[in-house]
């Protein structure tokens, strides 16, 4: 068991290191011309990306980036502003307004480098005219609790924003803009990452209304009026976007570690959907492999990434990965040959202080010894406190990168 715990932790740590700005930005920075550079951007990795720019690029550098509280990296020339995530706050609005004002002041000769990673949507909040911060907070809170996928959430965010959905790049025009992305969305659609502030928007206000109706999200009259206007932005900026790190890169690094430890690997890729249902499917697959009835044979590591959803019905504490881990624990029912880890690569699972959790063969037995009912914790969406009581939380602090979820299931003979 101790050996599997060490391996699971090593797989996660290696995956995160592979998608850190230090590891993934060399090529794109080498390709940029030296000289006067204005850096803007937002996301959990934005400050560490900005630090790499300052460290590696000669010339005059200025600008600002927005990161969640606790994700600051000290930069010499690029201002780093902290704001709230996942629900926006006034600090994020003020910073986004400053960013947009900076963008509109740039001349044609200016080179802009936009650094974007997951988390940028809430950090770069600038409500459209007629929308208040309180409106954005209420709608975001409802969407995050509804189980909506990130692509659906970001469709709504774009059409209630004065900066997302290509509007930041439009403001920079005619300055040249290069966007560097660390992707936190399944499929790596650049228009979805941080709601695509420098990417032409292919969605419409009708799309946003359809998402809100699908999840029965109540709208203030002022917000509905804005969406009912059906106004679409027309702009003439040129997209120049490079994705430098994805979940595929993180999983590939973990595959190399697993194979070096003489495990076969099964890469399920980026996955979406309900966290509990996904965990139940993975448990079924792992148990089949363990008994020799699966598509592969043990010893095996099953790896996956992506972004699951949680339909919150209880009043407990937890995130996507702890929700998955608790459902996996219940479904595995103490299987002696199977252990797992589920973590967010940004180091923060939901609103907790943990990256995720470990699932071990004796997890349920130890919980029972503490008179803890796993099903009751699950019903209350209280996965964080379940694993905290067992000392099975994975706590890393902010990693300052983000390709979303990382899951590994180790199956021994």
pLDDT tens for the chain, 413 residues long, are 566 899 999 999 999 999 999 999 999 999 988 879 999 999 999 999 999 999 999 889 999 999 999 999 999 999 999 999 999 999 999 999 999 999 999 999 999 999 999 999 999 999 999 899 999 999 999 998 888 988 999 999 999 999 999 999 999 999 999 999 999 998 999 999 999 999 999 999 999 999 999 999 999 888 888 888 766 555 678 899 999 999 999 999 999 999 999 999 999 999 999 999 999 999 999 999 999 999 999 999 999 999 999 989 999 999 999 999 999 999 999 999 999 999 999 999 987 899 999 999 999 999 999 999 999 999 999 999 999 999 999 999 999 999 999 999 999 99
3-state secondary structure of 240: coil
Tokens read off for 70: 């606790």
| 163-to-45, 57, 242, 268, 337 alpha-carbon distances in Å | 19, 27, 20, 35, 50
Token pair belonging to 112: 């802009």
Distance of alpha carbon 412 from alpha carbon 67, whole angstroms: 41
Q: By 3-state DSSP, what share of the chain in percent is helix, strand and coil, each rounded to 5?
A: 40, 20, 40
Residue in the block written with tokens 């606790």: 70
CA–CA dist 391, 81 (Å, integer): 34
CATH of domain 2-14+247-411: 3.40.1480.10
297: how many CB neighbours lie within 10 A of its CB? 12
Do 373 and 321 meet the contact criterion of CB atoms below 8 Å apart? no
Quote the Cα angle for 131-307-4, to 5°. 145
**What stretch of H or E contains 96?**
helix 90-104
pTM for the structure as a whole? 0.92
Q: How far apart are CA 184 and CA 189, in angstroms?
A: 10
Strands (E), 94-137: 111-117
Domain boundaries, the chain: 2-14+247-411, 20-245
248 within 8 A of 269, measured Cβ to Cβ: yes
Of 381, 275, 405, give the one whose Cα is nearest residue 331: 275
List strands edge to edge, sheet with 176-182. Answer: 79-83, 61-68, 37-42, 111-117, 176-182, 241-245
Q: Does domain 20-245 have CATH number 1.10.220.150?
A: no
**What's the confidence (pLDDT) of residue 222?**
84
Q: What is the DSSP letter of 124?
A: T
Do 2-14+247-411 and 20-245 fold alike per CATH?
no
146, 194, 359, 413 from 364: Cα distances, Å? 29, 38, 9, 21
Q: Terminal CA-to-CA distance of the chain, rounded, Å?
A: 13
- Between CA 200 and CA 65 the distance in angstroms is 21
| pLDDT of the residue at 145 | 86
355 and 318 in contact (C-beta within 8 Å)? no
């Amino acid at each position: 068991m101790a050996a599997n715990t060490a391996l699971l932790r090593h797989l996660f740590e290696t995956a995160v290191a592979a998608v850190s700005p230090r590891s993934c930005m060399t090529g794109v920075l080498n390709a940029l011309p030296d000289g006067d550079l204005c850096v803007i951007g937002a996301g959990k990795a934005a400050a560490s990306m900005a630090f790499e720019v300052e460290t590696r690029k000669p010339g005059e550098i200025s600008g600002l980036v927005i990161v969640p509280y606790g994700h600051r990296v000290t930069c010499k020339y690029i201002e780093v502003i902290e704001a709230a995530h996942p629900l926006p706050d006034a600090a994020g609005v003020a910073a986004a307004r400053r960013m947009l004002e900076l963008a509109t002041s740039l001349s044609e000769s200016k080179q802009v480098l936009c650094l974007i990673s997951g988390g940028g949507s809430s950090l770069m909040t600038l409500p459209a005219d007629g929308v208040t911060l309180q409106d954005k907070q209420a709608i975001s809170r409802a969407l995050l609790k509804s189980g909506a996928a990130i692509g659906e959430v970001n469709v709504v965010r774009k059409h209630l924003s004065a900066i997302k959905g290509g509007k930041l790049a439009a403001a920079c025009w005619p300055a040249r803009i290069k966007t560097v992305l660390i992707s936190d969305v399944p499929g790596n659609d650049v228009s979805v990452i941080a709601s695509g502030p420098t990417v032409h928007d292919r969605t419409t206000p009708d799309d946003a209304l359809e998402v809100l109706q699908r999840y029965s999200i109540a709208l203030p009259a002022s917000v509905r009026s804005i969406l009912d206007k059906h106004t679409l932005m027309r702009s003439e900026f040129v997209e120049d976007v490079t994705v430098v790190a994805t979940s595929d890169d993180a999983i590939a690094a973990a595959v190399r570690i697993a194979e070096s430890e003489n495990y076969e690997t099964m890469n399920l890729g980026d996955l979406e959907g309900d966290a509990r249902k996904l965990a139940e499917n993975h448990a079924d697959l792992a148990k089949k492999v363990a008994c020799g009835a699966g598509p592969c044979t043990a010893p095996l590591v099953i790896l996956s990434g992506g972004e699951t959803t949680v339909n919150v019905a209880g009043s407990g504490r937890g995130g996507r990965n702890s929700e998955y881990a608790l459902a996996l624990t219940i479904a595995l029912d103490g299987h002696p040959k199977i252990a797992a880890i589920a973590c967010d690569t940004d180091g923060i699972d939901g609103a907790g202080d943990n990256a995720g959790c470990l699932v071990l063969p004796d997890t349920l037995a130890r919980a029972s010894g503490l008179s803890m009912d796993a099903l009751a914790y699950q019903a209350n969406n209280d996965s964080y406190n379940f694993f905290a009581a067992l000392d099975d939380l994975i706590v890393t602090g902010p990693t300052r990168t983000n390709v979303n979820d990382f899951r590994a299931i180790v199956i021994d003979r």
